[in-house]
Structure 1
Amino acid sequence: MKRISVQMLILIMTVLLFTGCNTYTDEGAETYQINNDGARIQNINQEYTSNSYNQTYKMHVDENAEEQVKIMNEVQSATIITVHRNAYVAVVLENGDTEAVPGDLKNKIAQQIKGSDESITDVYVSSNADFVVSMTDYREQLQSRRPIVGLTEDFNDTIERFFPKNR
């Protein structure tokens, strides 16, 4: 009898424990705010707002500009993330070159992007394989609809590493 009582008590405590831990809801996943020194995250799937470098800016995937760049004969694929008035472009070239994007092609890409979004003033283009992988990962994270801790800092580190003169 005592053995059954102990087992019943353990069962009840286990049920209560799991019931108490199951309070997570998916409500608000679209809009999530962090008030840590003014940093905010909103509409995670499209924009990520932060106070990095002492200025608030939004990161978002520019699908329209990506389509405009993919139309170009020299480009196989493109990932574009805009931040403030800058566009960061990772391209896979048709010729497979991962060393450098020719200057004339960079200019054509910049014109396409600025034509699709007039607020863009600076365009940074790279075909470096590591940069392409990083940008693809950032794109997926931004579109995941979940807050990503440290995304801005990682993105900034990547940009500083690949475009050190431009920061």
Structure 2
Amino acid sequence: MKRISVQLLIPIMTILLLAGCNTYTDEGAETYQINNDGAQIQNINQEYNSTSYNQTYRMRVDENAEEQVEMLNEVQSATIITVQRKAYVAVVLENGNTEGVPGELRNKITRQIKMNDEAIADVYVSANADFVVSMTDYREQLLTRRPIMGLTEEFNTTIKRVFPKER
């Protein structure tokens, strides 16, 4: 009789032990939820509200759009980085103008990009020499496909400087 109760007791104790180990909570774990409507990033323990108009958690180089824009006669080269539904375009013009992009050319570039990716809602174009250099650098960093500390903040700062009216 004792032998049967000991044999029965061992599986019961094992089940209770395993059930007790299943009470792990991930308190303090970094779990995030992104709310696109209000541009909020929520942590389990804390809530962060972002006032940045550029949520750059999905920056990518759009090489297809770059090729399409470079096919325009007025454009020597183009660097395009998309962030959500926005495209940021740095162009080197054939005439060497770094002061601005003429309105008709800006419209052609916008049409090319939107034809290439229908999800793009806003296109920001600049021929500013500093912007071209920065965008080329960001492009190279993104193409390495390694996490780069501070890239998002640096990119946002550059965008705010080059396109201050576009908030």
Structure 2 length-normalised TM: 0.68
Alignment of 1:132-147 (within 5 A): 132-147=132-147
What displacement does 1:56 show? 6.8
How many residue pairs match? The answer is 123
Superposed CA deviations along residues 77-119 of structure 1, whole A, max 9, x for unmatched, are 0000000100000000000000000011000000000000000
Residue 93 (1) aligns with residue 79 (2): no
Q: Which moved more, 1:144-153 or 1:134-143?
A: 144-153
Residue 151 (1) aligns with residue 160 (2): no
Cα gap change, 1:88 to 1:37, in 2 (>3 Å) = farther
CA distance in 2, matches of 1:117, 1:159: 21
Work out which structure has the larger RCO, using CA pairs closer than 8 Å and 6 or more positions apart in sequence.
Answer: 1
- Structure 1: state its 5+ residue gaps: 1-34, 40-50
Q: Quick one: which amino acid aligns to residue 130 of structure 1?
A: D
CA distance in 2, matches of 1:166, 1:117: 21
CA distance in 2, matches of 1:57, 1:125: 21
Cα gap change, 1:94 to 1:166, in 2 (>3 Å) = same
Who is 1:123 aligned against? 123
User: SS in structure 2 opposite 1:95?
Assistant: coil
User: SS in structure 2 opposite 1:78?
Assistant: strand
Q: Quick one: which amino acid aligns to residue 92 of structure 2?
A: V
Superposed CA deviations along residues 46-68 of structure 1, whole A, max 9, x for unmatched, are xxxxx663857410000000000
Indicate the percent of aligned positions where both proteins have the same amino acid. Answer: 72
Displacement over 6 Å in runs of 4+ = none
Who is 1:75 aligned against? 75
Alignment of 1:55-74 (within 5 A): 57-74=57-74
Who is 1:166 aligned against? 166
User: SS in structure 2 opposite 1:90?
Assistant: strand
User: SS in structure 1 opposite 2:120?
Assistant: coil
Q: Quick one: which amino acid aligns to residue 61 of structure 1?
A: V
Cα RMSD over matched residues?
A: 2.2
Please tell me whether Structure 1 or Structure 2 has the larger radius of gyration of its CA atoms.
2
CA distance in 1, matches of 2:131, 2:30: 29
CA distance in 2, matches of 1:161, 1:97: 19
Q: Quick one: which amino acid aligns to residue 118 of structure 2?
A: E
Alignment of 1:34-73 (within 5 A): 38=32, 53=52, 57-73=57-73
Asked if the contact 2:98/2:128 (under 8 Å) is kept, the reply is: yes
